[in-house]
Structure 1
Amino acid sequence: MIVDVVVDGARFTVTERPGSPGVHDFVWQSGPNPGYGFTMAAHGAGPLGRADLEQAARDFLSQVDPATGYLAD
């Protein structure tokens, strides 16, 4: 499953890992650092709904340092 998610103007491509139910890789397509993103794992779960994916992206963005485009220390 591949889904494009847009939250707060930021665009992510989300892929569920084959053979790993509940594990989703997010690539921040509109971010300043090519290929940067994060992985979310909901063990024992199947594919997450759009609202869950959007919330995960929002949570990630809330932790990013705007000066670097990477997670803040």
Structure 2
Amino acid sequence: MSEIKFSPQEKAQLVDKLQRYFDRELEQELGQFDAEFLLDFVSKEFGSFYYNRGLYDAQHIISDRVEQISEAIYELEKPVN
């Protein structure tokens, strides 16, 4: 798996969310640098778990769709003598 990278806009949004969370839930100020450092750490250490979960979820959806298509094709079959 390649390294998880965010666009500057995405990173700014995530950093902002971290800062607001720390302020609201922990009543602690989290500076820009610390928030970026924390985001990099979380991405590196936990990102693979979320990435893999997304792949499993996508695989499940695709499997369900393939099964539905197979059933639809079976219904289209014509009887043979």
TM-score interval (norm. to shorter): 0.3 to 0.5
Structure (1/2) with the larger strand percentage:
1
Structure (1/2) with the larger helix percentage:
2
After TM superposition, the score normalised by the length of structure 2 is 0.31
